[in-house]
Structure 1
């Protein structure tokens, strides 16, 4: 069955449909990772987005229950050059086509993803529509009037408080779209975890006898997450705070900083990040469309990491207030696992604070 891709600029591409085939709309973005398509599909940070994979062969190692970052596929749509007809991997429990169909996700193959990626790079992320219908004026109007939802964090956050027992520090996580890899890495350090819904009050967080609060990754514009920003504002100075990706942006806004939308974002597994304190470069995995505005940082924000490619802010801290954040994903190891050390560094900071108390 043919599938059509309609972009905001009027571009129409025709490929082959697989997965579910209901018409969908979203923001089209690209991911440059060579592996990890299942992690990408299930990452809550992609909620509301149609993802183009730049690596040409997708689905070749199948699908399994271990490599998921949440309990369902989060993307609105998926575009690949070639959908592998046969999967081969000892961990495989199924194929990509059946998986996407079961999850109700529209996917398109047999299109020029290189051209599509270059168009996004040149023009920026755009509104996009996927359909098996012929492109009509009605569909064009739907796309024209589509706007990215402002409540994506609410849609992907947990709805109940969850606890994971451990012997070490008690870390609270405000779930703005939490990847399971993050909680697994912190748990592996011996910590106990309590995961809270995105709209948990700061009073409730402080009542849990936590050693620190982590604001997680998540989808959308950080300025739309006003409740989380207010919560962070009220917690600053009362308890150590950590932030990853969207969580870092929330903390920056709470400290009086500013954020802005990147032209096409950072999504992939090979982004070099310079630690300004050690002058060492880490190869990191990233997934974000917004960044902290380095021209509007306040005196409360010390920039600690920058992106080598475009010099955008990749990390900051305020030692006096015990606030630390990174824009990249320290839990992800798409080959290099350089950034995993961030979690150990954060736990060491808590140990130092305890020694100085």
Structure 2
């Protein structure tokens, strides 16, 4: 074990037990999920953040790579009341600093009350509070990276053939930091998925002969994903368009709307969402720090029960459907998996219209 210090933007320095050495910094956020630590740690939406787990024991069912959502750990550091040795070994193998034996309840309530804040972390046998403060000082002068997409997106196009007996639609999935489960959910329904870089051009999309344009989840400010927004502007009215999480925000910005940063975001697996047409409430998995403040040309069809933020946007006229939460879950409830069927149903509807014409 080694010394560890967490320096917070509010001036506090918290002492902890060091589990994986290193010095780093980032935006301090928390997740309320009881399970799914493997999925959370490999979720690209946590890029450049320091992830605090509110559940006190992380690692109680081991580490299995088949549950990973990407090829690596994305948070810059991990914090828990207690990490098991197996999780520590995994984080150490990826050189991700980790600390525990501190009051995570206090951290969570601080973020809840004050908002997501910058932090600095120093872990090591010779670590000092001054080291953590130095990391925080570096962080304070940083803005969110406008090129963060380069850190989470596929470098080259990838193709995933759909399972037999499904829709056979072709999806151009713009990878702004896509979770693997999104691709899996589409493939399981028979869709052929072309995973394209976050800065793909219109020509790249056209080359796939896509039936639908799908904007994925991803980290940070949706305004940083300008090319994905351009694609939505170019293809709206020509192709059905779908989006998840950051994808919803990108689509809204492209269609006359606006987004804003939330106080501390939604991160967990028990966010209640109400459908405005049916009045049905479902529990959802979420991980985002921005939200749609103005839907623009789209209609708000679902809202968060806790704070009334937009959870679903749609337009029958424009053939657009988006969700702020993660219908594919992993971890979390599968109440909303039908979203992927709704997306592919838009493709079938387009085909029927074309045949009728």
When the two structures are aligned, how many residues end up with a matched partner?
344
Quote the Cα distance in structure 1 between the aligned partners of 2:43 and 2:136. Answer: 29
Separation in 2, partners of 1:163, 1:334: 25
Alignment of 1:309 onto 2:306: yes
How far residue 141 of structure 1 moved from its aligned partner, in angstroms, is 3.1
Please give the alpha-carbon distance, in whole angstroms, between the structure 1 residues aligned to 2:213 and 2:110: 40
Match status 1:104 vs 2:95: yes
The more displaced of 194-203 and 27-36 is 194-203
Distance in 1 (alpha carbons) for counterparts of 2:230 and 2:69: 27
In 1, Cα distance between equivalents of 2:136 and 2:288: 27
Once the two structures are superposed, residues 168-208 of structure 1 have per-residue CA deviations (whole angstroms, 9 ceiling, x without a partner) of 11111000001001100110001111110011101220232
Establish whether residue 40 from structure 1 lines up as the match of residue 26 from structure 2. Answer: no
SS in structure 1 at match of 2:65: coil
Give the whole-Å Cα distance in 2 for the aligned partners of 1:157 and 1:138. 30
Distance, in Å, in 1 between the alignment partners of 2:90 and 2:330 is: 24
Instruction: State the TM-score, normalizing by the size of structure 1.
Output: 0.93
> Distance between the aligned counterparts of 2:332 and 2:27, measured in 1?
28
Other-structure match for 2:323:
326
The whole-number CA distance in structure 2 between the counterparts of 1:209 and 1:335 is 33
> What corresponds to 1:210 in structure 2?
210
Distance 2:81 2:142 in 1: 26
1:158 is aligned to 154
SS in 2 for 1:186: helix
SS in 2 for 1:338: coil
Deviation at 1:139, TM superposition (A): 4.3
Partner of 2:333: 336
Runs of 5+ in structure 2 lacking a partner? Answer: none
- Contact 1:25-1:146 within 8 A present in 2 as well: no
Which residue of 2 is the match for residue 91 of structure 1? none
The equivalent of 1:88 in structure 2 is none
Matches of 2:140 and 2:48 in 1, distance apart?
A: 16
Deviation at 1:335, TM superposition (A): 4.8
Q: CA RMSD in A?
A: 1.3
2:129 is paired with a residue of what secondary structure?
Answer: coil
Q: Deviations over 1:125-173 (max 9, x none)?
A: 0111110221226445324324332222221000001111225111110
Separation in 2, partners of 1:155, 1:144: 21
Long gaps (5+) in structure 1: 86-94
Asked whether 1:274 is paired with 2:270, we answer no
| Partner SS for 2:337 | helix
